[in-house]
Structure 1
Amino acid sequence: MPPFDSLIGVLASRSFSTIWFWLALIGMWSAAGRNVLGVPVEVLARARTALRRDAPDAPEAIALMDWLSLNLPRWRLGPREGAVFLGLTSFGLTSLAVLGFGFGLELAQALTLVGVPFWLLFWLRVRLARRLAPILADAQQGVLPLPDAVAGTVRHMVRHRMLHMLLSVAAVLVTLLWGMLWMLIRPFGF
């Protein structure tokens, strides 16, 4: 057990060799995959099924648009807020990466390998929200017919889910490979 008398001692804690790290990693990705911008995947699946049945005016499709109208405003990020968030998170992740991979601190490496993919996922969600906002606004104003709005929304959200799935698999795989390499090189943690 490393000494906890300094910040470096805390950051040198074991991560890759504990089951709790792996359970937390899988649990975080599992929880992140249960919704798309706050819309449960079941609602998206029902709306997609309604589109396949050629019933875009079905209650399931309308429920998807309702969920979006409630959750989409939470994902609005202005240029100033986006720049501040990007700067602060980039600084934090870069600091963790330097501590982890530059100075060989295991906990900092683990946090970097967890943080960077979730950072990318956040920006993918912001991009999806920016793409869906005009579709939802046009549908609410009656400019875009509901079937077209639902079809466009489902198409973007399904594509986002696929990107999310690829990102999660890649993140877990890279973390797993790095963790195995770390444990092979340092079987006793130092």
Structure 2
Amino acid sequence: MLRPEGILALLDSRSFGSIWFWVILMLAWTMAGRRVLGVPSDVIAGAVGTEPGPEDDPAALTLLDWLSLTLPRWRIDQREGAILLGLGAFLLTALTVLGFGYGLEMAQALVLLVLPFALLFALELRLARRLRAVLARAEVGQPVNEAGAEAARLMRRHKTAAVAMSILAVALTAFYGAVWMIAHPFGF
């Protein structure tokens, strides 16, 4: 049977002093920057330079095909969204209270790791909604090259925001981790 002391002892383990925390942080942000909504970066880059013309550009077609395959996974109705938002807010609030209210290092590290990804997830849901509109216009007659260029533009802008967010998140986590290690040299 799990005891509350055992759970709190697990949450209070050294995070900022562990190499594994930093490896996980870097690996998570590296993996987050490789794809946008499941579409590889090279597919997006190929569709960026598409220009309007009489023939459909294969790069724009490829991007729109990828979007038609990946966007249905990003569809969340209102009920699912409310449940997801409530659960996520509860977990983040609980970790924040445990970490910054009670001073548990592991909970602080988890907040610094999970909170930026929650913001990135919200941005990805917004991007998916915008791209569904672009894909719908392409299905009813908008030229493929225009739809591909618009989708690529939206996705590149999102990727730029995600890279900026990752740099900021890693820098803030590293700064906070350094301050924590200076203030708590023996871990307590």
TM-score (norm 2): 0.94
1:57: which partner in 2? 56
The amino acid of 2:150's aligned partner reads G
RMSD: 1.8
CA–CA separation in structure 1 for the residues paired with 2:55 and 2:172:
40
Aligned CA distance change for structure 1 residues 53 and 131 (closer, same or farther; 3 Å): closer
Give unmatched runs, 5+ long, in structure 1. Answer: none
CA–CA separation in structure 2 for the residues paired with 1:92 and 1:22:
22
2:154: which partner in 1? 156
- Report % sequence identity: 51
Give unmatched runs, 5+ long, in structure 2. Answer: none
1:129-178: CA deviation from partner (whole Å, max 9, x where unpaired): 00110110111122x22122112111110110011011101110110010
Aligned CA distance change for structure 1 residues 112 and 129 (closer, same or farther; 3 Å): same
CA–CA separation in structure 2 for the residues paired with 1:127 and 1:55:
32
Aligned CA distance change for structure 1 residues 164 and 54 (closer, same or farther; 3 Å): farther
Higher RCO structure (Cα 8 Å, ≥6 apart): 2
Residues 35-50 of structure 1 aligned to structure 2 (within 5 Å)? 35-49=35-49
Count, aligned residues: 185
1:68-112: CA deviation from partner (whole Å, max 9, x where unpaired): 000001001111111110110011011001100010000000000
The amino acid of 2:157's aligned partner reads R
1:103-134: CA deviation from partner (whole Å, max 9, x where unpaired): 00000000000000000010100000001101
Alignment check: 8 A CA contact 1:117 1:171 kept: yes
TM-score (norm 1): 0.93
How much does 1:57 deviate?
2.4
CA–CA separation in structure 1 for the residues paired with 2:176 and 2:58:
47
1:82: which partner in 2? 81
Aligned CA distance change for structure 1 residues 164 and 55 (closer, same or farther; 3 Å): farther
Alignment check: 8 A CA contact 1:56 1:150 kept: no
Residues 1-190 of structure 1 aligned to structure 2 (within 5 Å)? 6-49=6-49, 51=50, 57-142=56-141, 144-190=142-188
The amino acid of 1:20's aligned partner reads W
Stretches (4+) displaced over 4 A: 52-56
